[in-house]
Amino acid sequence: MNAIVLEAAQGQQGGGMSMIIMMVVLFAIVYFFMIRPQNKKQKEIQKFRNALTVGQDVVTIGGIHGTVKAINEDEGTVTLEVATGVKITFAKEAINPIATNNKK
């Protein structure tokens, strides 16, 4: 009877260690396939928005096409000319780098 209890206790200890290893492996998989690529994408988007220049054609996240006429770094805004004489001010975060890069 004592041998059965000892074997069961040893089996549980090994199972606990394998559970910890499995959790670490699962976290590593989530990190490398989900978290890391998202952080990399966010850095690329921020780099694009910081590199905006006057005269560049862009598209906002709302789908408005325009040309950058002014950039205010202090307020974090961009003024776009969407038609002749029509200027609209947007937050830098409203510029869509994905649509802008695909625009011809």
pLDDT tens profile 65-100: 999 999 999 999 999 999 999 999 999 999 988 866
> How many CB atoms neighbour CB 98 within 10 A?
12
Domain residue limits at 41:
1-51
Residue 32 sits in the same domain as residue 69: no
Beta strands in 1-104 (DSSP E): 57-59, 65-72, 77-83, 86-91
Residue 14, pLDDT above cutoff 90: no
Residue 66: is it exposed, middle or buried by C-beta count within 10 angstroms (0-12/13-18/19+)?
buried
Residue 63: give its domain's CATH number.
2.30.30
Residue 2 sits in the same domain as residue 43: yes
Residue 25, pLDDT above cutoff 70: yes
The predicted pLDDT at position 10 comes to 57
Residue 21 sits in the same domain as residue 65: no
β-bridge pairing 77-83 and 65-72: antiparallel
Percent of the chain whose pLDDT exceeds 70? 80
Query: Which of 8-12, 31-35, 70-74 is least confident?
Result: 8-12
The predicted pLDDT at position 17 comes to 84
